[in-house]
Amino acid sequence: MGDVLVATVSIAFDGFAYAMLLFMISVGLSVTMGLMGFVNLAHGAFAMAGGYVLVSLMNSLGVPFLPALVIAAIVVAVFSVPFERVLYRPLYRASELEQVLLSIGLVYIAVGGITYIYGPQPPHIALPSFLEGMIDLGFKSFPAYRVFVIVIGLVTALGLWLGLERTIAGARIRAAVDNRRMAQSVGIKVDRLFMLTFALGSGLAAVGGGLAINILGLNPRFAFIYLVFFLIIVVVGGMGSVRGAFFAAILLGIIDTGGKYLWPEGGAFFIYVVTMAILLVRPQGLFGKPA
Amino acid sequence: MNDAADAIAALGRRGRLHWAEALPWFAGLAVFFVFPGYLAFGTQVLISILFALSLDLILGYAGIVTLGHAAYFGFGAYAAGMLSAHLGWNEPLSGLVFAGVVAGGFGFVTGLILLRYHGLALIMLTLAQAIMLQEFANVAEGWTGGFDGLMGINISPIFGIFDNDLWGKHYYLYALAVLFLCFIVVRLLTHSPLGASLVGVRENTQRMHAVGSPVYWRLVAVYTVGATLAGIAGGLFAQSNSFVTLDVLSFARSGTVLIMLVLGGTGRLYGAFLGTTVYMIIEDRLAKASPDLWELGVGIGLVLAVMFFRGGLMGLIDRLAARSGARP
Amino acid sequence: MSIRKVVISLAAAAAMLAPAAALAKTVKVGVVLTFSGGAAQFGDLIEKGMKLYMKEHPQAFGDNKVELINRDSKNPGGAVAKTMVKELITREGVQMLAGFVFSPNAMASAPLATQAKVPMIIMNAGTAWITKLSPYIARFSFSMWHAAYPMGAYAHDKLGCKTAAVGYTDYPPGKDSLEAFKTGFEKAGGKVVDAVPMGGPREVPDFTPFLQRVKDAKPDCFYVFVPSGNHAAAVVKTFGDLGMAAAGIKLIGPGDLVPDTELQGMGTPATALTIMHNYAADYDNPANKAFVKAWKAAYGASTTPDFMAVAGWDGMAAIAHAIKVQNGDVTAAGTMKALEGWKFDSPRGPIMIDPKTRDIIQDEHVEKIVDDNGRLKVKVIDTIPQVKDPCKALKIGKCG
């Protein structure tokens, strides 16, 4: 295979795997931000929590990888509900600044708390053997784990799309994102809807966090480090848009991976240039509603 | 009837100097004599106060929410540092002016673009800008020293006499003087018609537009002044440490100054003094003992401040003063 | 007891202690290490090595005592370390500085050591030209060139690599290691086809794009320098995940790539490595056997020391020597004089401090990782004795 073709395939594959991970973590944030307009910088903390719950389940309780992922998602989703009621709900009408400050405060609590409980070292988990090694597709072999992540990401995207487009609950969510007052006046219980969406988003983020352990690595500062990326995906994709989050994640993943592959000295630069360019032209994001 | 008379009297009193305003400066001088071993630390506190003050102008008065204010601090720091390290111009006072002017210029140009946006888009743009600048500084390591840091900064003694000794005596007074001068500028600005119009913009932008106020240009003007002051703070940082690293542009720095200001109370000027001092002193004591619990504590404090103690420490003081009948 | 009796007892006690007090001095040593964050384990290992020496050899200090004052440098940025050093010198009045995990922290602190005339005992930071930054620096760990330069020649001559790619973390030791390997490799006749900076030392990046690029370039050898610990574990894992050994690429590097503390967790991919290093816990000499035994007794049978712990141990032995020779009245010039030409029987083998450069002279070993009944072990297959830092010896770049 020609060099350029090899490079392109490598970048596309790695970038896509990275993108699926970021998508799973960010999609919940996009929907909740679109629904309630709440600037939530702490979303990454749910992903991080998911990762650490997974670690505890696997290393302390001996639960195998796949069931542990599911359990971690459920645990985080359930625990996110009291968070939403007690901390976020009082601030829906508050200024952006206060929302930013509250969520930054939550990130600090999460980071400090996790460091205290688990220590600063990145935790390790053992993957099941069918997820290790390479899968040979003839022209190139690919790491099995990344293929797995891509599959899960695509399944999640499809599931969310079907859920939003084809179910009544999904229709209610879309209605509330489009026009909350109208949706309420039609009788949609927006508060309950939001609670469910928040839980779902947090649960998905937890799955993303668990999957991230063997790609990005997990450590107590995860919520800080990737905060910017999740925000970028939501804002570039457009708040409230699953499609937007999907495409923005792919854009981000490919640009970041391509940047590192082609220009390792300064590759990280490009994402921010692209983000700013998009926001300057379309402040509402690619698929967001105009202000 | 009494309310109206009180209101008019309050308007008339606003802007006049209150005796309590001299307290911070006396305290600053007192520290010089009482805590000679802590002056290097004190200098960094003064620098951070100036930085927080510059943010208060933008955030507290003009209501511009930014997560990337460190961009101007870092811009000033690198400007002052590179002036000495690369161009060999070691005179500190002119170097500081240079840092402020350069950072202010950058603030003006970026402000022209950024201030056309609002809400979340603006927050994201400021954040992306600061990170981009940090990445750019990393790539341009020929100029900035990149990850290794900018070395070779060699500032001449101030006025030819006062050098940067290990104990930081001279630089403490230098920083205090610079802070004082900058504060006078800020105080005049906020008590001027421009300052009043900024409060209007912050409280009700639509009405200000309706009244015909050039909102956009007012914001750009204030943003530029804020960037200039942040640049001066950055310049002081570079000069006092003789060392500049990519940290000066980091999200952590933008976030921390925001926290310190909020803790003290936004839109009050002295909130910057109070919040910064309290935060940095507690950090100096506690963060050494247990850095994890310190972070946890900061987070809890922030959450409590937002949920229960709006207005920060200054707000608290106001309420206590109101209860005791004194007028702040 | 009446007041009078108390005062007399105290005076008597003071009188008894006074002659001893006049002889025994307490030397304050400021220890600047990373105690928090992802690199916390390094600070922990070095400190444990230092304390173990103090515990095992209390008589090495003469009658004097050492008081360790720890400060956390937090990250490889340099600014925090510099502030901590200033504090240690002005607020705590330390007479010696020790530690320094990351090179930028040592580099930022060097001017302060010179300005305040305080000796600086470096126990890890490996950028070659650091010892030139102050006349009061002595180093007990290594220079990046100690391992990388001879590895270059070895890769070409003994491993048969004609081409090599280099992956390195983008900060001073990484760049130093790249230059050292490249110089050695190209001098021996090899060609470096790609040099890939792989992110920074603070966070462990996803190494896949970088290693994928190297794999696609198809070199014979892939030389890697990343900070020890988490970075190293991630690189070896990614190397395995991408099947690079099967693609015919030999993974080589300095000992930072397989620290003893991470070795067991690395699994089979580690056996593909060839390493050039100054220490492994499996070394078979009497000093090391005693050292490892004392370590396990003090810190737990399942723990192991590594090269950072040994540097702490050796550095503390040097501090003891300097204090004893100066009778507790420590000065920078006096300490340097005591350490120049100092020889010691370290767990890593015989070491000496070069009187001209104040840097360490030590044996370098070529190692392979072998599977010994399910446990990974380090096997020494070759030794280059008493290597002086080649960068300063050859006066290359900033070392000249």
pLDDT at B139: 81
pLDDT digits (tens, 9 = 90+) for B259-286: 999 989 888 888 999 999 999 998 888 7
pLDDT digits (tens, 9 = 90+) for A113-151: 998 898 877 888 888 888 877 787 777 778 888 899 999
**Looking at the partner chain, which of B118, B121, B300 has a beta carbon nearest the beta carbon of A279?**
B121
Q: What is the mean pLDDT of residues A189-196?
A: 86
Please tell me the class of the C145-277+364-399 domain: alpha beta
Token pair of A49, please?
């929590």
Q: Which of A84-88, A177-181, C303-307 is predicted least confidently? A: A177-181
- Beta carbons of B64 and B58 less than 8 angstroms apart: yes
Q: How confident is the model at residue C10 (pLDDT cuts 50, 70, 90)?
A: low
**B144-to-B82, C51, C393 alpha-carbon distances in Å:** 7, 39, 30
Partnered with residue C197 across adjacent β-strands are C168
Q: What is the distance of C-alpha C324 from the center of its chain?
A: 24
Helix axes B215-241, B39-55, angle to 10 degrees: 170
**Looking at the partner chain, which of B121, B299, B306 has a beta carbon nearest the beta carbon of A283?**
B121
B301 to A105: CB separation less than 8 angstroms, yes or no: yes
B contact test, residue of A40, A87, A104 with most B CBs within 10 A: A104
pLDDT at C18: 52
CATH homologous superfamily for the domain C3-142+285-358 = Response regulator (3.40.50.2300)
Token pair of B161, please?
């006499």
Using the predicted structure, report yes or no on whether residue B203 has a pLDDT greater than 90.
no
Q: How confident is the model at residue A157 (pLDDT cuts 50, 70, 90)?
A: very high
pLDDT at C20: 47
pLDDT at C21: 46
Strands C26-33 and C96-99, by their bridges, are parallel
A120 to C241: CB separation less than 8 angstroms, yes or no: no
Query: Any chain C CB within 8 A of the CB of A114?
Result: no
pLDDT digits (tens, 9 = 90+) for C296-348: 999 988 889 999 999 999 999 999 999 999 998 999 999 999 999 999 999 99
In a domain, B2, yes or no: no
pLDDT digits (tens, 9 = 90+) for C234-258: 899 889 888 888 889 999 999 999 8
Identify the CATH assignment for A3-281 out of 3.30.1490, 1.10.150, 1.10.3470, 2.30.30: 1.10.3470
C3-142+285-358 against C145-277+364-399: fold identical = yes
Chain B residue closest to C170 (CA)?
Answer: B147
pLDDT digits (tens, 9 = 90+) for C68-101: 999 989 888 788 898 899 989 988 999 999 999 9
Q: How far apart are CA A278 and CA A287, in angstroms?
A: 11
* Count of C-beta atoms within a 10 Å radius of residue C245: 17
pLDDT at C132: 93
- ipTM comes to 0.84
Using the predicted structure, report yes or no on whether residue B188 has a pLDDT greater than 60.
yes
The mean pLDDT of chain B is: 87
Residue listed under structure tokens 């509603």 = A289
pLDDT at C206: 84
Using the predicted structure, report yes or no on whether residue A1 has a pLDDT greater than 70.
no
C104 to B149: CB separation less than 8 angstroms, yes or no: yes
Q: What is the mean pLDDT of residues C6-28?
A: 64
pLDDT at B165: 79
Read off the pTM. 0.86
Q: What is the mean pLDDT of residues A86-96?
A: 85
> Looking at CA atoms only, how far is residue C256 from chain A in angstroms?
17
Using the predicted structure, report yes or no on whether residue B145 has a pLDDT greater than 50.
yes
Q: How far apart are CA C8 and CA B296, in angstroms?
A: 51
As for how many domains chain B has, the answer is 1
Residues of B within 8 A of A241 (CB-CB) are none
Using the predicted structure, report yes or no on whether residue A281 has a pLDDT greater than 80.
yes
Q: How confident is the model at residue C2 (pLDDT cuts 50, 70, 90)?
A: low
Neighbouring chains of B at 3+ CB pairs under 8 Å are: A, C
pLDDT at C17: 55
Counting one residue from A and one from B, how many pairs have CB atoms under 8 Å apart? Answer: 125
Within chain C, how many helices (H) and strands (E) appear? Answer: 13, 14
C7: left (phi over 0), alpha (psi -120 to 50) or beta: alpha
Residue-number span of the structural domain to which B202 is assigned: 36-250
> Looking at CA atoms only, how far is residue A111 from chain B in angstroms?
7
Q: How far apart are CA C370 and CA C51, in angstroms?
A: 32
> Looking at CA atoms only, how far is residue B292 from chain C in angstroms?
9
In a domain, B125, yes or no: yes
With residue C224 as reference, give the H or E element that holds it.
Answer: strand C221-225
Query: Any chain B CB within 8 A of the CB of C200?
Result: yes
pLDDT at A289: 78
Chain C residue closest to A131 (CA)?
Answer: C241
pLDDT at C240: 86
User: Can you give the residue ranges of every domain in chain A?
Assistant: 3-281
Neighbouring chains of A at 3+ CB pairs under 8 Å are: B, C
Using the predicted structure, report yes or no on whether residue A268 has a pLDDT greater than 80.
no
B135 to A113: CB separation less than 8 angstroms, yes or no: no
Token pair of C245, please?
């050994």
Query: Any chain C CB within 8 A of the CB of A185?
Result: no
